[in-house]
Structure 1
Amino acid sequence: MTVNPTEEAASAPGAQPGALPDAPPGARPAALEARDLSVVYPGSRGRAPARAVDGVNLRIGQGEIVALIGESGCGKSTLARALVGLVKPTSGQVLYQDTPLGYSAKALKQYRRHTQLVLQDPGGALNPKQNVYDAVALGPRLHGLRDGLPERVHGALARAGLRPPEEFAGRYPHELSGGQQQRVVIAGVLALDPRVIVADEPVASLDASVRGEILKLILHLRDELGLSALVVSHDLGLAWNIADRVAVMYLGRIVEQGTVEEVLLRPQHPYTKALLSVIPTGAEDWRPTLLTGEPPDPTAIPAGCRFHPRCGRWAAASEPERAEAACDRRELPVLAADGYRAACHLLHTDALTESV
């Protein structure tokens, strides 16, 4: 995979017109999928309900890494937690290998053998009173996998890059670096032999010097074990270095998705372009695009295109263009789960009656 030089050294939900309802020919079989998924948190003290996830279709193929990108508050973490069964959707479905997720205690326990969440803060995820061995063994013990437990734990530590595992097994979190703590968290996931991992900002709390090591580890696990992964991040450089496909999220919706090259080299949606514009290009005329208006508020979703109040393209549009596009009053359809799509009325004169 090509490395970006800026990285760490650098109105009703429905299928988009013209979009395929399922994966296009040649796509990998689905490992994990969200279909028309919504998560609404009830309001309190007179506040409106918060539509944190609002009609999302997202597909992670077998052996594929998908990066979910967006600002803080756009619903990425809520979607991640819904995909691993920690949050029950208000509507829609989560499917594992085309089978809808059940929400009984037994069904969720069985599901979590196969789909695991990697948290952002490894220090907070680890019990300071528990040594590395017990931290990694916790999951297998909860699932009754006690036969051959030492071999399972040591094997997971080795796959996570903590070698020799015997040297780390007796240590406690405070005796480890941030990168080593994250590897322990990943080892705890690997000890259950999952098929899918959902990593929520897996390197956000780490120093730049170790971020690349963790990203390289995730790629290695994909190649060695055939793992599928959804990596949640606000870092477009991370997406470039690790992902096969990218989904861009804004205010509870996927607004653009496609391969890394399609989305990051030829972005179509104004929001994606604004996110990419902050990466220095080295050109003399380089200027970042500053988003105006208020950050996303899931309790006050605007009419029409939910990005239009902050959209520079809409602000610069002529009156005839505004009349035709009607970004401030006409709802955009929900994007289909796969293929290259961007949800923007201003992309086409036919107002999005064909795919991008």
Structure 2
Amino acid sequence: MLEARDLRVVYPARGGRAPALAVDGVNLQVRPGEIVALIGESGCGKSTLARALTGLVAPTSGQVRYQGEPLDPRRMRAFRKQVQLVLQDPGGALNPRQNVFDAVAEGPRLHGERAGLRDRVHTALARAGLRPPEDYVRRHPHELSGGQQQRVVIAGALALNPAVIVADEPVASLDASVRGEILKLLLSLRDQLGLSALVVSHDLGLAWNIADRVAVMYLGRIVETGTVEDVLLRPRHPYTRALLSVLPESGERIVLTGEPPDPTRVPGGCRFHPRCPVRTTGCDTVDLPILPAADAVACPEVTP
């Protein structure tokens, strides 16, 4: 449904700093009816990749493909109906002066789809779990809880009947008690409507609960990808192992030194080597290839 091919996004130099390499040669697929979790630390390029996949950031090189066809600027309007972005801060995503009806109806109105607008808005709200929709359409964002605000944002995406949702940290700003409800909603939308989804998060628990496949990102690159069971139960890359080690049941804690490198100063060789607890000679000069057969990264310390 949605694919990145050798996607690269470089932000131009500013204030005397070098250009920032936000996304570097990413290959990623979201298949029909599939939920893919994109996991990584803050600053690794996840949100930039999400925005590039939804047409909000222009790639420096590489391609975004939808249903097998390269994204054409002439077809961008139709593409944006089919691929919707859900932002992480529902309070910031909603206009405080708009009521719920206008917030959900904004997309169809922008695309000139005003026929049957009331029924479309009510259906989207009901699918997002706000029932009966008549109780919510005249409310404003300040009258809603955080979970209800996020459901309104999701309803705004559903109002255009998309095929793919790209959700950027959809539960990061919500209480723990509400997160499960939103994740359950994403699963039900996949099952009932056949939606595909890319869910961006730093939460490994989210990946385990809703994803079919996981892609782990570090400093602009996908370092490991595979099924949920392969990546979370049998991680092969040292970075993935370090992320998983923070879970209570993981056993020994792996503490990484320092912060993720600055994207304006990407280290040579394997870009994880400055923080890697198992680095060996040559890691600073030789980058790690992706092994297509194993769908994971080769590392001197990891047995294929």
TM-score, length-scaled by structure 2: 0.97
Q: Does residue 164 in structure 1 map to residue 120 in structure 2?
A: no
In structure 1, give the amino acid aligned to 2:265: A
Preserved CA contact (<8 Å) 1:37 1:94 = yes
Of residues 69, 77, 93 in structure 1, which corresponds to 2:63?
A: 93
Superposed CA deviations along residues 46-82 of structure 1, whole A, max 9, x for unmatched, are: 2111000000000000000000000000000000000
Q: Using the TM superposition, give the Cα deviation of residue 110 of structure 1 relative to its aligned residue in structure 2, in angstroms.
A: 1.0
What is the distance in 2 between the residues matched to 1:75 and 1:116?
19
Structure 1 residue 339, shift from structure 2 partner: 6.4
Letter in 2 for 1:87: V
Look up the match of 2:295: 340
Provide the residue aligned with 2:195 in structure 1. 227
Match of 2:6 among 30, 36, 49: 36
Question: Identity, % of aligned pairs?
Answer: 73
Superposition deviation, residue 293 in structure 1: 2.8
Task: Give distance in 2, aligned partners of 1:46 and 1:236.
Answer: 37
Specify the alignment match of 2:284 in structure 1.
328
Spell out, residue by residue over 1:276-304, the C-alpha distance to the aligned partner (whole angstroms, 9 max, x if none): 000101x8xx3421111332311111110
Superposed counterparts of 1:136-155, under 5 Å: 136-155=104-123
**Residues 264-322 of structure 1: CA distance to partner in whole angstroms, max 9, x if unpaired?**
000000000000000101x8xx34211113323111111100001100011xx4xxxx2
The question of whether the paired residues in 2 share the 8 Å contact of 1:255 and 1:343 is answered with no
**1:238 — aligned with what?**
206
Query: What corresponds to 1:13 in structure 2?
Result: none
- For 2:194, give the aligned amino acid: G
Are positions 1:81 and 2:46 aligned together?
Answer: no
State the AA in 2 paired with 1:166: E
SS at match of 2:73: coil
The aligned counterpart of 1:11 is none
Distance 1:165 1:339, change over 3 A: farther
Residue in 2 that maps onto 1:14: none
Out of 170, 173, 189, the position equivalent to 1:205 is 173
Structure 1 unaligned spans of 5+: 1-30, 349-355
Aligned residue among 38, 42, 45 for 1:72: 42
Amino acid at match of 1:280: P
Equivalent residues of 2:290, 2:296 under 8 A apart: no
1:288 to 2:256 alignment: no
Q: How many aligned residue pairs are there?
A: 304
Report the AA paired with residue 293 of structure 1.
G
Conserved? CA contact 1:93–1:101, under 8 Å: yes
Could you say if the C-alpha distance between residues 90 and 65 of structure 1 is closer, same or farther in structure 2, counting changes exceeding 3 Å? same
Segments of 5+ residues of structure 2 without an aligned counterpart are: none
Which protein has greater RCO, CA pairs closer than 8 Å, 6+ apart? 1
Q: Post-superposition shift, 1:35?
A: 0.1
What does residue 109 of structure 1 align with?
77
Which amino acid letter does the alignment assign opposite residue 170 of structure 2? P
- Largest Rg, 1 or 2: 1
Contact 1:118 1:200 in 2 (8 A): yes
Deviations 1:230-272 (A, max 9, x none): 0000000000001000000000000000000000000000000
1:114–1:335 CA distance, 2 compared to 1 (3 A):
farther
